Amino acid sequence: MKKLINDPLRVADEEVEGFVKAFPSYVKKLEDVRVVVRKNAPVQGKVGILVGGGSGHEPFWFGYTGEGMYDAVIVGEIFSSPTPDAAYKGTKAIDGGEGVLYLLGNYEGDKMNLGISKERAEAEGIPIEIVNVTDDVASAPPSQAQERRGIAGNLFVIKVAGAKAEQGGILEEVKNAALKANSNTRTMGVALSPCILPATGRPNFTISEDEMEIGMGIHGEPGIERTKVKSADEVAEILTMKVVNDLPFKGNDEVALLLNGLGSTPLQELFILFRKIEEILTSKKIDIHKALIGNYCTSIDMMGCSLSLMRLDDELKELFDAPADTPYFKM
Amino acid sequence: MKKLINDPLRVADEEVEGFVKAFPSYVKKLEDVRVVVRKNAPVQGKVGILVGGGSGHEPFWFGYTGEGMYDAVIVGEIFSSPTPDAAYKGTKAIDGGEGVLYLLGNYEGDKMNLGISKERAEAEGIPIEIVNVTDDVASAPPSQAQERRGIAGNLFVIKVAGAKAEQGGILEEVKNAALKANSNTRTMGVALSPCILPATGRPNFTISEDEMEIGMGIHGEPGIERTKVKSADEVAEILTMKVVNDLPFKGNDEVALLLNGLGSTPLQELFILFRKIEEILTSKKIDIHKALIGNYCTSIDMMGCSLSLMRLDDELKELFDAPADTPYFKM
């Protein structure tokens, strides 16, 4: 294992320290807990938005803290849920009197720990709503869509809910915007390599030198098929068709698109994939309103990518296009 | 080798196709040549800025095409110089009547081919100036600073020159701003792994499983020392001291900082490195005006990073902070 780290057990602590030092005009860290909040938190009169999950997905979670996105991120250890106490303190720190929305990735540990935080906060009179993002089509069939995992499409849900809160929406409206974004978003991923976990120095799964796994989760959860590595055009077609057929997306739909790298896949490969994805969507008369291409939600240094589409109507489009200003996401 | 590509010899062509499809509101591609220009080129009455070099450094070169940065990028094959003909056509496409500045990385092939383009353009009455960026302190001693390679610090020179041109500076002023930025910028890198070249499917150099190379260039050019992999704090100290001592940067200096990933190094490791870099600079009373941390100038999927500092005065600071709006760089 080659990693530029110090203590393998202090990776999450030290990366948050470095991040907060790097972007002091955007964020601050709460004392004693690994919670990053926007600089001007709490914003009075605004619904607070709190996200939380394990680290290892950078710039996902804490890189997007700020205006137009969310107010607090509760940072767990690598691929591990944050603690209830940290979530509670984060909730208190961003409570501007209008309640707080928790946006979670639909992982059991996150739901349990943030559920405890919700109870504590509500007991003190802070209204809390929870939306679980479920964009990963590989993780469960359509009939069990509510059991699906949240992966990179989370960015769309965050963007939409964040804009709604920034515009003065009340808690119910912000929650409904998040639910609407989630129900119109689908993601499909592919992995070519494992990631190396800092604590063990070992890969989180094994895969042959000539294989890839379609539908693998961002923590290495099993996918739906293991095959020989295919060409970029073939992979683009698989990802696009899995996503399009699931919602399904149809002719004359307008979509936001996220082609997300998992860490080690060069940006040049994402552009080559996009070339084909765009061709397929165009042939289906699905119009790409805006494309985001890059390492938005990684799995440390995993090789692979995911494609997310969100179907837009006037409301979702306006919220997606609304301004955002954070260290790693600007609109 | 695992890569999401189609034809290994068409990587540069296909990635540019995909990129231009993804960002049609920012850029367009010239016909017949691999040249990307800003959408509204030529901008009448503005000095044009042209950059060129091999592909494989994404998002570097073409990802930063647009307002406040540059007007044209001439895209070579992977790690290879672009052709004189493409450079000439790019020059013509961005000539707004005020001349064109070429910003190059001080590599022989680029200088030769862009030199031919310069002669052709000048013969047609388009004034051309060339600035070669020389920020890599590992590539030659201070006494031969003009022979140093240009690496990630190029971003600072581009940002400053791009702002000066956007503000209406004449060719001489834009050139002088670039020269000033270059003379105040220093970079030092470290590599932990090679990159895999698409055309051959093989690494561009070999390094042991427990070694790193300090000062390696972004195409795998030899560095100054090969050692065992050190801790993040030790690497941070080496990079910072090499950069600081070279200019030298001194107490009360204000700097722009770029901590650049070479492709496969997770962002979390860059944050851990930054934590120590900031501590060292603070102890020396060197003030970080703004920090950029991420994969800005990669070497395909190389593992490693570089640290660049640019000393700011009022002029450089104002130009560095000026607006920029491109697909992969916004200010």
Predicted confidence (pLDDT) per residue in B140-169, tens digit: 999 999 999 999 999 999 999 999 999 999
Query: Which residues in chain B are contacts of A63 at CB distance < 8 A?
Result: 267
Written as six digits, the tokens of B26 are: 């920012």
Written as six digits, the tokens of A52 are: 């939380």
Q: pLDDT value at position A151?
A: 96
Residue A169 C-alpha, separation from nearest chain B C-alpha, in angstroms: 28
Q: Do the chains contact at A265 and B11, CB–CB below 8 Å?
A: no
Q: pLDDT value at position B91?
A: 98
What are the extents of the domains in chain B?
A: 12-184, 185-319
Question: Which amino acid appears at position B2 of this protein?
Answer: K
- Looking at chain B, which residue has its C-alpha nearest residue A267? B58
State the Cα–Cα distance between residues B50 and B99, nearest whole angstrom.
11
Looking from the CA of B145 toward its CB, the CA atoms found within 13 Å total 12
Calculate the alpha carbon distances from A329 to A65, A242, B327, B331 in Å.
Answer: 9, 27, 12, 12
Residue A1 has pLDDT above 80, yes or no: no
Query: Which residues in chain B are contacts of A65 at CB distance < 8 A?
Result: none
B12-184 and B185-319 share one fold = no
Kindly report, residue by residue over B13-24, the tens digit of the pLDDT. Answer: 999 999 999 999
pLDDT bucket at A41, cuts 50 / 70 / 90: very high
Q: pLDDT value at position B218?
A: 86
Q: Do the chains contact at B274 and A232, CB–CB below 8 Å?
A: no
Q: Taking residues A229-243, report their average pLDDT.
A: 98
Kindly report, residue by residue over B200-231, the tens digit of the pLDDT. Answer: 888 989 999 999 999 988 888 889 999 999 99
Query: Which residues in chain A are contacts of B3 at CB distance < 8 A?
Result: 269
Written as six digits, the tokens of A21 are: 């030092």
Return phi, psi of residue B85, to 5°. Answer: -65, -45
Cβ–Cβ under 8 Å, residues B73 and B16 = no
Q: pLDDT value at position B181?
A: 98
Q: pLDDT value at position A160?
A: 98
Q: Is A289 a residue of the active site?
A: no
Cβ–Cβ under 8 Å, residues A48 and A79 = no
Kindly report, residue by residue over B31-56, the tens digit of the pLDDT. Answer: 999 999 999 999 999 999 999 999 99
Q: pLDDT value at position A217?
A: 87
Average pLDDT, chain B: 96
Angle (CA) A85-A89-A95 rounded to 5° is 145
CB atoms within 10 A of CB B25: 8
Residue A291 has pLDDT above 80, yes or no: yes
Per the listing, tokens 């780290």 go with A5
Q: pLDDT value at position A220?
A: 86
For chain A, how big is the Rg over CA atoms in Å?
19
Residue B233 C-alpha, separation from nearest chain A C-alpha, in angstroms: 7
Whole-structure pTM value: 0.97
Q: Is A195 left (phi over 0), alpha (psi -120 to 50) or beta?
A: beta
Closest CA to B304 of B188, B224, B225, B202: B188
Q: Do the chains contact at B5 and A231, CB–CB below 8 Å?
A: yes
State the Cα–Cα distance between residues B254 and A109, nearest whole angstrom.
45
Residue A178 has pLDDT above 80, yes or no: yes
Kindly report, residue by residue over B307-326, the tens digit of the pLDDT. Answer: 999 999 999 999 999 999 99
Question: Which amino acid appears at position B53 of this protein?
Answer: G
Interface test with A, best of B2, B4, B19, B208 (most A CBs within 10 A): B4
Per the listing, tokens 């499983």 go with B209
DSSP, collapsed to helix, strand or coil, labels residue A230 as: coil
Q: pLDDT value at position B38?
A: 98
Closest CA to B73 of B123, B24, B110: B110
Q: pLDDT value at position A93?
A: 98
Residue A218 has pLDDT above 90, yes or no: no
Written as six digits, the tokens of B309 are: 């500092």
Cβ contacts below 8 Å, chain A against chain B, sum to: 158
Q: Do the chains contact at A18 and B295, CB–CB below 8 Å?
A: no
Q: Taking residues A238-261, report their average pLDDT.
A: 98
Query: Which residues in chain A are contacts of B54 at CB distance < 8 A?
Result: none
CATH hierarchy code of domain A185-319: 3.30.1180.20
Q: Which among B16, B21, B58 is the nearest to A278, CB-wise?
A: B21
CATH of A8-184, picked from 1.10.3470.10, 3.40.50.880, 3.40.50.10440, 1.10.3720.10, is 3.40.50.10440
Residue of A57, A148, A164, A311 marked catalytic = A57
Kindly report, residue by residue over B81-119, the tens digit of the pLDDT. Answer: 999 999 999 999 999 999 999 999 999 999 999 999 999
Residue B72 C-alpha, separation from nearest chain A C-alpha, in angstroms: 18
Residue A148 has pLDDT above 80, yes or no: yes
Residue B1 has pLDDT above 80, yes or no: no
CATH hierarchy code of domain B12-184: 3.40.50.10440
Question: Which amino acid appears at position A88 of this protein?
Answer: Y
